[in-house]
Structure 1
Amino acid sequence: MTVARILASKGRDVVTMQPHNTLRDVVDALAAKHIGALIITDPQGKMQGIVSERDVVRAIAQHGADALEDPVSNYMTKNIVTATEEESVLEVVGKMSKGRFRHMPIVVNDRLVGIVSVGDAIKFRLAQMEEEQSALREYIATA
């Protein structure tokens, strides 16, 4: 099962901001959209970084509430690990586990096409396991 199937069911919308936006802008967007991370892009849409709830917590812990007025570029993760739609969900979860992060931007030809969270992967895998169980029950009942 590939990441493309997750994106097909959850959608491909990705919340983005630009490096000059403040950390407060990020916090407001995360809260309003009920998401855990967003992508930082340049005006042409090229990914510059990713910022998550963890990044916000670290910024405030290290710099206090004043950090909320700083540009998000000061706190975003710049070395972005990405995946493609063709990768398996297990491969992507493995990358997230190894990197100790919970959100993975999905790219096609270096262009952002979606984002997958650990929660998305778990939800999808649980649904798949339920389908497999149901198919087994049906097979056993008809055998």
Structure 2
Amino acid sequence: MNVASILKAKGSDVVTATPVMTLGETARLLTSRRIGAVVVLHGQQVLGILSERDIVKAVAASGAEALDRPVRDFMTSRVTTCDLNDSADELMDIMTNGRFRHLPVVHKGELVGIVSIGDVVKHRIAETVMETEAMRLYIASS
């Protein structure tokens, strides 16, 4: 299973923010969309990613005033991305080693989706269930 199959099942909609949006605006966007991260774009260029964890760290360090400051002050600007051809196992390794939960999907220089650790686990479990059922059918027919 690869990223393309995960996006085919979940969709390729990506919620984005601009670097000048305030942290408060972005927090409200995350809440209203019930998501954990946004990709920060300038035009079509990925500048960064901002997660709930980044917001918590900003408020812990700077207090409520952080909510009035721009996203660019708190986003992760060294963004790790993945490609449509990457496998679920590769994604789990990347996310585990990097200690993050969201990966923007960039294909041929264009943002085409985002995957979360939850998406990867869900599809990996589905794949395991299908493999188990195939083995049961094979054993039963032998």
TM-score interval (norm. to shorter): over 0.9
More divergent stretch after superposition (71-80 vs 89-98): 89-98
How far does residue 26 in structure 1 lie from its aligned partner after superposition?
A: 1.0
Give distance in 2, aligned partners of 1:6 and 1:109. 18
Point out where structure 2 has 5 or more consecutive residues left out of the alignment: none
Give the match for residue 20 of structure 1.
20
How far does residue 138 in structure 1 lie from its aligned partner after superposition?
A: 1.5
- Structure 1 moving runs of 4+ over 2 Å: none
Give the match for residue 30 of structure 1.
30
User: So what's the TM-score if we normalise by structure 2?
Assistant: 0.97
Q: Does structure 1 residue 10 correspond to structure 2 residue 10?
A: yes
Give the match for residue 50 of structure 2.
51
Deviations 1:72-102 (A, max 9, x none): 1100000011110011111111111111111
- RMSD between aligned residues: 0.8
Amino acid at match of 1:5: S
1:62-141 superposed matches below 5 A: 62-141=61-140
How far does residue 136 in structure 1 lie from its aligned partner after superposition?
A: 1.3
Point out where structure 1 has 5 or more consecutive residues left out of the alignment: none
User: So what's the TM-score if we normalise by structure 1?
Assistant: 0.96
Any idea what SS the aligned residue of 2:124 has?
Answer: helix
Q: Percent identity?
A: 44
The number of residues matched between the two structures is: 142
Give distance in 2, aligned partners of 1:25 and 1:110. 28
